[in-house]
Amino acid sequence: MKKIKVGIVGGTGYTGVELLRLLALHPQVDLHIITSRAEAGMPVSDLFSSLRGYVDLKFTDPAQADLTVCDLVFFATPNGIAMQQAEKLVAAGVKVIDLAADFRIQDIAEWEKWYGMTHACPQLVKQAVYGLPEINRAQIAKANIVANPGCYPTAVQLGFLPLLEAGVINPDFLIADAKSGVSGAGRKAEVHTLLAESADSFKAYAAGGHRHLPEISQGLAGMAGKAVGLTFIPHLLPMIRGIHATLYAQLTKPMDVQKLFEQKYQHERFVDVLPAGSHPETRSVRGSNTCRIAVHHHQDTNRVVILSVIDNLVKGAAGQAVQNMNIMFGWDEATGLQVVPLLP
């Protein structure tokens, strides 16, 4: 089978290097262009020595890169970049996967409120398919542009999905208490992510409202068939990779929640429902595209607690993007993603 030509816009961040790690050994992919304005001309393996012997490309200045020769382009860029280039690429027949938030939220005014800029390509938002395969697999298969979900939204939505879909919890009272490793903040230099600032400490942030809140609320509303009442509070953990989401909901009818989750995800390659009573660890998914979930039902109450863990850079970003690419091109969904988690 002929390989496809793949381009990556923004290949110098943590998401970009994670894409390179996964795509370097993908049997159907020819890495063709990797852009970086600051590192143009530098061999990729000089910046990321882990890729020596696997990636022999040099970074290309975005102004000199002809992305229209690619079959698919990943945008591993900050918010606001993909929306300026995606329309031209789609018109040229190039498929696009945006790992930022430019096409995730259907309500343009809501997006502009949370992201603080005017959307440059609102007409393409309606075409974009939200790339959570466990919900939108059929639509992803036909999509020309996919909005890859955020890391927190992936862990939270996969945790609430079976309960909301079955209509067995109160959608007006949902709580997502989520924690992320420092790599979720990106590779840019900032004081709060310095070792001396983030190590041996633990804190909540954006308690008044986080940018992922409207994305999560939009997804949960789609599952519930109505608006939801969600409290979402993110926290920063003193570790590099991983997200742990502890989710709370109120059951509205008697339900074997363990059986519900097992049946919902029994055919999902990248969602692992653990045995009853389990407590998943972030290290159990490190480096992999797997979401591990455990469900706890307080038998003497109507409360249910869902524990959901992912690697924020894989199932929360690059791995899910590769999963979406596989679906878009009709390949086995796990191609290039058969990675055993790293332990310790």
The CATH number covering residue 81 comes to: 3.40.50.720
Q: Which residues contact 45 (CB under 8 A, 6 or more apart)?
A: 51, 52, 53, 54, 55, 56
The CATH number of the domain where 229 resides is what? 3.30.360.10
On the question of pLDDT at 1 being above 80, the answer is no
The mean pLDDT of 134-149, rounded to a whole number, is 98
In a domain, 110, yes or no: yes
The confidence score (pLDDT) of residue 188 equals 83
On the question of pLDDT at 47 being above 90, the answer is yes
> How many structural domains does the chain have?
2
Q: Are residues 233 and 188 in the same domain?
A: yes
The mean pLDDT of 166-180, rounded to a whole number, is 98
Q: Are residues 85 and 180 in the same domain?
A: no
The confidence score (pLDDT) of residue 84 equals 96
Q: Is 151 a catalytic residue?
A: yes
pLDDT per position as a tens digit, 58-77: 999 999 999 999 999 999 99
Task: For residue 66, give both structure tokens.
Answer: 């002809």
In a domain, 226, yes or no: yes
Report how far apart, in Å, the C-alpha atoms of 275 and of each of 167, 272, 304 are. Answer: 23, 10, 15
In a domain, 336, yes or no: no
In a domain, 324, yes or no: no
Q: Are residues 44 and 112 in the same domain?
A: yes
In a domain, 337, yes or no: no
On the question of pLDDT at 2 being above 90, the answer is no
Amino acid at 152: Y
Catalytic position from the list 70, 121, 151, 291: 151
Contact 169, 225 (CB under 8 A): no
In a domain, 82, yes or no: yes
What residue numbers bound the domain in which 273 lies? 152-311
In a domain, 83, yes or no: yes
The 3-class SS string of the chain reads: CCCEEEEEECCCCHHHHHHHHHHCCCCCEEEEEEECCCCCCCEHHHHCHHHCCCCCCECECHHHCCHHHCCEEEECCCCCCHHHHHHHHHHCCCEEEECCCCCCCCCHHHHHHHHCCCCCCHHHHCCCEECCHHHHHHHHHCCCEEECCCHHHHHHHHHHHHHHHHCCECCCCEEEEEEECHHHHCCCCCHHHCHHHHCCCCEECCCCCCCHHHHHHHHHHHHHCCCCCEEEEEEECCCCCCEEEEEEEEECCCCCHHHHHHHHHCCCCCEEECCCCCCCCHHHHCCCCCEEEEEEECCCCCEEEEEEEECCCHHHHHHHHHHHHHHHCCCCCCCCCCCCCCCC
What order of strands is seen across the sheet that includes strand 95-98?
Answer: 29-35, 4-9, 72-75, 95-98, 145-147, 129-130
Q: Are residues 81 and 215 in the same domain?
A: no
Indicate the pLDDT class of residue 177, thresholds 50, 70 and 90. Answer: very high
Q: Are residues 159 and 242 in the same domain?
A: yes
pTM exceeds 0.85: yes
304 burial class (0-12, 13-18, 19+ CB within 10 angstroms)? buried
Q: Are residues 195 and 293 in the same domain?
A: yes
Q: Are residues 119 and 191 in the same domain?
A: no
Q: Are residues 20 and 121 in the same domain?
A: yes
Indicate the pLDDT class of residue 187, thresholds 50, 70 and 90. Answer: confident
Q: Are residues 43 and 167 in the same domain?
A: no
Report d(CA 215, CA 37) in Å as an integer.
30
Backbone phi, then psi, for 41, in 5-degree steps? 90, -15
Q: Which of 72, 93, 127 is the last residue of a domain?
A: 127
Q: Are residues 177 and 107 in the same domain?
A: no
Q: Are residues 123 and 195 in the same domain?
A: no
In a domain, 59, yes or no: yes
Q: Are residues 179 and 262 in the same domain?
A: yes
